[in-house]
């Protein structure tokens, strides 16, 4: 099964946009292997839009890799990536042209899937720009899914239709393994907060086999790169909260910062074993909410994990310092049971004691706390 747990890796779009090439892909593969990212679970290296020539080959009809960006062709890049123990990902689009106006796969789905298989691709992100009105969204994703299944290679399908057509209700049935449910992320707090909030009610559709993808992480970008938007970037506290949200809701962890230049704070955050364990829990359950105040900006979520464990997320998305209360009764542990919760700070690994009856937690603006918990 390709996506038993949320896929993890790196995608070029957030930082590099159209500035991709053979060399930066190889350097990124090196960084993933050497900095412990692959060992932490980040195995897919995905090349997003802008990798091909502007036109298909007039004779074969195939998409052709850009001769300047990828002078050795795509198979050579893929071989290098595989040589590092990583998996290789490509990008195309359901329309006639991609979002950045390169050839799309409409009416060439089977030929392109075959081409990606020849490259040795293990992953395909499939976008939704410039689609003809003659075909509806679900049919276009069925087509590429069937084409991949006919390609002779096992290729993970990462659908990217930004939540159109109530995607969460049908995308699993057509064979995709993850699905973008929102518009594009930008490297600032409001962008990821709004993306997250828009999906709170839809996460229950996400489960092993097919996960809700709320976009590539901006963690560690510090406003450098293609999706810097207003150039604000995020603070380390905000990146910590972004990562915690993705992990708590079993979202695919696709890194978007320049991994060749990743700093120690970011590396430590994205390789945190406890957070990754929460994201990758094999049961993939959606959390339930136990506290909601300040217009819904201050919340507590409880995620039931395997092995009789829980993850607790105390979240302050508001712009003010805020207090939240986890009342054990509200999560199904009445006082009369005589039970409490033994908690460990997920970020530091430190024992944080036992909660009896309730826990009060103060949080700075945009901050969060995450605990692993057991009933004792």
The set of catalytic residues is 127, 184
First to last CA, the chain: 35
206 versus 316: smaller Cβ distance to ligand GLA:
206
- Please identify, among the stretches 96-104, 150-158, 268-276, 334-342, the one whose residues bind ligand GLA according to the rule CB under 6 A: 96-104
Other CB atoms within 10 A of residue 231 CB = 10
Q: Which of 113, 160, 245, 269 binds ligand GLA (CB under 6 A)?
A: 160
> Does the protein bind ligand GLA through residue 187 (CB under 6 A)?
no
Other CB atoms within 10 A of residue 365 CB = 16
> Does the protein bind ligand GLA through residue 141 (CB under 6 A)?
no
224 versus 356: smaller Cβ distance to ligand GLA:
224
- Please identify, among the stretches 95-103, 254-262, 312-320, 360-368, the one whose residues bind ligand GLA according to the rule CB under 6 A: 95-103
Q: What angle do CA 281, 243, 220 make, to 5 degrees?
A: 140
- Please identify, among the stretches 37-45, 63-71, 98-106, 273-281, the one whose residues bind ligand GLA according to the rule CB under 6 A: 98-106
**Shortest reach from residue 14's CB to ligand GLA, in Å:** 8
Tokens of 103: 């050839």
Q: Contacts with ligand GLA in 197-256 (CB under 6 A)?
A: none
Q: Which of 99, 300, 302, 343 binds ligand GLA (CB under 6 A)?
A: 99
165 versus 345: smaller Cβ distance to ligand GLA:
165
Among the residues of the chain, which ranges form H helices?
Answer: 13-16, 22-34, 37-40, 73-83, 109-119, 137-149, 171-174, 189-199, 236-248, 264-270, 273-279
**Shortest reach from residue 164's CB to ligand GLA, in Å:** 11
28 versus 344: smaller Cβ distance to ligand GLA:
28
Q: Which of 22, 48, 238, 242 binds ligand GLA (CB under 6 A)?
A: 48
Q: 107: number of CA atoms within 13 Å, CB side?
A: 10
* DSSP H or E run through 317: none
Q: Which of 27, 184, 236, 293 binds ligand GLA (CB under 6 A)?
A: 184
> Does the protein bind ligand GLA through residue 13 (CB under 6 A)?
yes
- Nearest-angstrom CA–CA distance, 150 and 142: 12
Look at residues 126, 112, 187 and name the one whose alpha carbon lies nearest to residue 160. Answer: 126
Look at residues 304, 324, 320 and name the one whose alpha carbon lies nearest to residue 312. Answer: 304
- What phi-psi label fits residue 306: left (phi over 0), alpha (psi between -120 and 50 degrees) or beta? beta
Look at residues 84, 36, 43, 85 and name the one whose alpha carbon lies nearest to residue 271. Answer: 36
- Please identify, among the stretches 28-36, 92-100, 265-273, 297-305, the one whose residues bind ligand GLA according to the rule CB under 6 A: 92-100
102 versus 243: smaller Cβ distance to ligand GLA:
102
> Does the protein bind ligand GLA through residue 127 (CB under 6 A)?
yes
8 A C-beta contact, residue 117 and residue 124 = no
- Please identify, among the stretches 68-76, 97-105, 134-142, 192-200, the one whose residues bind ligand GLA according to the rule CB under 6 A: 97-105
Binding stretches for ligand GLA (CB under 6 A): 13, 48-49, 98-100, 127, 160, 184
């Amino acid at each position: 099964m390709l996506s038993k747990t949320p896929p993890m890796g790196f995608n070029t779009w957030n930082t590099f946009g159209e500035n991709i090439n053979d060399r930066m892909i190889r350097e990124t593969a090196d960084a993933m292997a050497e900095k412990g990212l692959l060992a932490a679970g980040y195995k897919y290296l995905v090349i997003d839009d802008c990798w091909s020539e502007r036109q298909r080959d007039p004779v074969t009809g195939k998409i052709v890799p850009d001769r300047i960006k990828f002078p050795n062709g795509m198979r050579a890049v893929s071989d290098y990536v595989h040589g590092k123990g990583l998996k290789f990902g490509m990008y195309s689009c359901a329309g006639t042209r991609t979002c950045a106006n390169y050839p799309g796969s409409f009416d060439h789905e089977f030929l392109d899937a075959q081409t990606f298989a020849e490259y040795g691709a293990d992953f395909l992100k499939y976008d939704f720009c410039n689609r003809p009105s003659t075909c509806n969204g679900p049919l276009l994703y069925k087509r590429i899914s069937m084409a991949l299944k006919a390609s002779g290679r096992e290729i993970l399908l990462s659908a990217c239709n930004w939540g159109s057509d109530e995607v969460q209700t049908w995308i699993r049935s057509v064979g995709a393994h993850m699905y973008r449910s929102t518009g594009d992320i930008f490297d600032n707090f409001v962008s990821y907060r709004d993306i997250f909030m828009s999906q709170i009610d839809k996460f229950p559709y996400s489960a092993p086999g097919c996960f809700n993808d709320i976009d590539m992480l901006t963690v560690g970008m510090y406003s450098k790169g293609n999706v810097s938007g207003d150039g604000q970037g995020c603070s380390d506290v905000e990146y910590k909260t972004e990562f915690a949200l993705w992990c708590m809701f079993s979202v695919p962890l696709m890194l978007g910062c320049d991994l060749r230049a990743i700093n120690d704070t970011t590396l430590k955050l994205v390789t945190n074993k406890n957070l990754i364990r929460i994201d990758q829990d094999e049961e993939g359950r959606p959390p339930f909410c136990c506290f909601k105040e300040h217009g819904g900006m201050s919340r507590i979520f409880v995620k039931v994990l395997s092995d009789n464990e829980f993850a607790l997320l105390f979240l302050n998305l508001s712009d003010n310092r805020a207090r939240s209360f986890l009342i054990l009764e509200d999560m199904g542990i009445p006082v009369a049971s005589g039970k409490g919760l033994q908690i460990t700070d997920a970020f530091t690994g430190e024992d944080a004691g036992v909660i009896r009856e309730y826990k009060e937690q103060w949080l700075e603006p945009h901050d969060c706390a995450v605990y692993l918990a057991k009933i004792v």
